[in-house]
């Protein structure tokens, strides 16, 4: 701010100080009828300067903290609107407090907040001061801010009488791409950087949101316990599992807990929006990690299969996967067994694909069961190593009866051989 040089001050000061009226006359002569803002070049352009020249200064008034005062707009520079209250009294208002920048020379009413002794400026507000608006903000303070502008790096907020910057990475817990919907919104933010000397105020909303979420989580987790049954919609599906909303908190159903059968990808079993009934099997890290199981609430198809199909029984199977060492067949709902390559044809085969293909349905024999390992061994052969078929007797039975079998009283016909073989099966 420009002030007269010491040489311009009156020299007729007595021991009690200079005569106020004489000092005022000297300053007025030194300024040449111009305002301080004009001398500082705040009135931009000839028209603005002319408008300010024509505008009479407000009459002498009592400018003090908390009072209302009339001022002439001396200029607009950057984020500030500079004011003239009268001789030797200037002020400033944040530009963001106006819907549109006021015209130079316009007389406006403002609310005086405080005096900045260093700059010798009255800090003012264009509208009544809200509680705490004039207070100095410190790191960690949580305040409300109104979004005034959007730029590529984030949002510009009005926090009381101050302008603040909210970086895009601190707006939400996740990355935000479209910032336009935030214009005009009032947000709760936390001060993360405050530098009054540089008029720099940086805020964050992410920390406020995280604390709110943690608080909701603690409240929600307080009502949960291991072993509880819950129902909720699937909110996200990842390769490794599905997230389920338990009412303010999410839990994860790992792919291994989605079904009794092997699941490669969660999307093969569930989808977003689907309602699942689950059991809580673990609560860890103060509720930030909740493990769920869908399989725990389903009847174990493996146990049911063992009851209905003991070793030696035959069952229909559908080929689901082929490996170099054998083929996996679905022999019941969520139940798979393995037919080793040695059990596919009499004498063996060079490749599984010589005998089976994915999607093919065949008749197989339950060759072995390992309950502790939940493994089922399957075979396309009889116990004697002959081919197992659906509609004819196995080769060994045919040969046995063709040679006379155990019944030598009468030579059997082909029909007898088939009937006896099928009866044996």
Q: What is the pLDDT of residue 402?
A: 47
Low-confidence winner among 55-69, 173-187, 356-370 (lowest mean pLDDT): 55-69
Q: What is the pLDDT of residue 425?
A: 46
Residue 348 backbone class (left: φ over 0; alpha: ψ -120 to 50; beta: rest):
left
- 182: pLDDT strictly greater than 70: yes
**Residue 318: which pLDDT band, with cuts at 50, 70 and 90?**
very high
**Residue 139: which pLDDT band, with cuts at 50, 70 and 90?**
confident
Backbone angles phi, psi at 174, to 5 degrees: -115, 165
Q: Residue 46 burial (CB < 10 Å; 0-12/13-18/19+)?
A: exposed
| pLDDT tens sequence across 104-124 | 888 888 888 888 888 888 888
**Residue 39: which pLDDT band, with cuts at 50, 70 and 90?**
very low
Mean pLDDT, range 336-354, rounded to an integer:
91
Which of the 8 DSSP states describes residue 344? S
Q: What is the pLDDT of residue 384?
A: 87
| pLDDT greater at residue 414 or residue 91 | 91
Q: What is the pLDDT of residue 327?
A: 95
| pLDDT tens sequence across 386-424 | 888 654 334 444 444 444 544 445 555 656 656 665 555
Residues of the chain by 3-state class (helix, strand, coil), percent to 5: 25, 35, 40
CA distances from 127 to 159, 164, 218, 304, 398 (A): 13, 18, 41, 76, 105
CA–CA separation, 12 vs 145, rounded Å?
52
Of 192, 136, 179, residue with least CA distance to 160 = 136
Number of Cβ within a 10 Å radius of residue 315: 18
- 212: pLDDT strictly greater than 60: yes
Cβ contact 337:347 at 8 Å: no
Q: Is 345 helix (H, G, I), strand (E, B) or coil?
A: coil
Q: What is the pLDDT of residue 281?
A: 93
Of 391, 332, 327, 319, residue with least CA distance to 362 = 319
Superfamily of domain 34-125: Nucleic acid-binding proteins (2.40.50.140)
Q: What is the pLDDT of residue 380?
A: 93
- Return the domain boundaries, the chain: 34-125, 142-210, 223-297, 301-390
Q: Residue 241 burial (CB < 10 Å; 0-12/13-18/19+)?
A: buried
The tally of CA atoms less than 13 A away on the side-chain side of residue 365 is 20
Name 50's Cβ contacts closer than 8 Å, sequence gap at least 6: none
CA–CA separation, 105 vs 54, rounded Å?
7
Give the fold, CATH level 3, of 223-297. OB fold (Dihydrolipoamide Acetyltransferase, E2P) (2.40.50)
Q: Is 366 helix (H, G, I), strand (E, B) or coil?
A: strand
**Residue 174: which pLDDT band, with cuts at 50, 70 and 90?**
confident
Mean pLDDT, range 258-263, rounded to an integer:
82
Q: 77: which strand partners?
A: 80
Q: pLDDT above 90 covers what percent of the chain?
A: 30
**Residue 134: which pLDDT band, with cuts at 50, 70 and 90?**
very low
- Calculate Rg over the CA atoms of the chain: 44
CATH 2.40.50.140 fits 142-210, yes or no: yes
Q: pLDDT above 70 covers what percent of the chain?
A: 75
Architecture of domain 301-390: Beta Barrel (2.40)
Cβ contact 209:169 at 8 Å: no
Cβ contact 136:105 at 8 Å: no
| pLDDT tens sequence across 283-311 | 988 778 899 999 888 877 888 888 888 99
- 56: pLDDT strictly greater than 70: no
Same CATH topology for 142-210 and 223-297: the answer is yes
Task: Name the average pLDDT for the chain.
Answer: 78
**Residue located via tokens 């919907």:** 181
| pLDDT tens sequence across 215-260 | 777 777 878 889 999 999 999 999 899 999 988 788 999 999 998 7
């Amino acid at each position: 701010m420009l002030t007269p040089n010491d040489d311009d001050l009156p020299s007729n000061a007595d021991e009690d100080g200079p005569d106020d009226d004489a000092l005022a006359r000297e300053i007025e002569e030194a300024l040449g009828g111009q305002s301080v803002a004009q001398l500082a070049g705040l009135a931009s352009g000839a028209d603005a300067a002319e408008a300010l020249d024509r505008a009479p200064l407000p009459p002498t008034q009592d400018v003090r903290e908390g009072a209302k005062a009339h001022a002439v707009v001396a200029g607009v520079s950057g984020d500030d609107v500079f004011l003239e209250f009268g001789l030797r009294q200037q002020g400033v208002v944040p530009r963001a407090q106006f819907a549109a920048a006021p015209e130079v020379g316009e007389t406006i009413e403002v609310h005086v907040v405080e005096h900045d002794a260093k700059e010798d400026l009255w800090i003012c507000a264009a509208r009544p001061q809200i509680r705490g608006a004039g207070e100095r903000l410190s790191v960690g303070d949580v305040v409300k801010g109104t979004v005034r502008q959007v730029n590529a790096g984030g949002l510009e907020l009005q926090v009381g009488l101050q302008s603040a910057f909210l970086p895009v990475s601190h707006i939400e817990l996740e990355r935000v791409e479209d910032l336009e919907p935030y214009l005009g919104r009032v947000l709760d933010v936390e001060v993360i950087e405050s530098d009054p000397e540089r008029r720099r105020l940086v805020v964050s909303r992410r920390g406020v949101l995280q604390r709110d979420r943690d608080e909701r989580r603690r409240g929600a987790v307080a009502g949960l316990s291991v072993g509880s049954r819950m129902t909720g919609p699937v909110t996200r599906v990842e390769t490794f599992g599905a997230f389920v909303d338990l009412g303010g908190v999410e839990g994860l159903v790992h792919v291994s807990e989605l079904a009794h059968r092997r699941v490669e990808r969660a999307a093969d079993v569930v989808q977003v929006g689907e309602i699942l009934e689950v059991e809580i099997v673990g609560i860890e890290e103060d509720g930030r990690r909740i493990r769920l199981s869908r399989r725990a609430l389903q009847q174990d198809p493996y146990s049911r299969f063992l009851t209905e199909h003991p070793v030696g029984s035959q069952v229909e199977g559908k080929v689901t996967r082929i490996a170099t060492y054998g083929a996996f067949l679905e022999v019941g709902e969520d139940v798979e067994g393995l037919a080793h390559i040695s059990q596919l044809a009499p004498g063996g085969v060079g490749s599984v694909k010589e005998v089976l293909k994915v999607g093919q349905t065949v008749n197989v024999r339950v060759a072995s069961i390992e309950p502790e390992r939940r493994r089922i061994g399957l075979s396309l052969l009889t116990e004697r190593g002959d081919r197992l078929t659906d509609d004819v007797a196995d080769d060994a039975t045919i040969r046995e009866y063709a040679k006379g079998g155990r019944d030598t009283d009468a030579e059997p016909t082909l029909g007898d051989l088939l009937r006896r073989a099928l009866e044996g099966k």
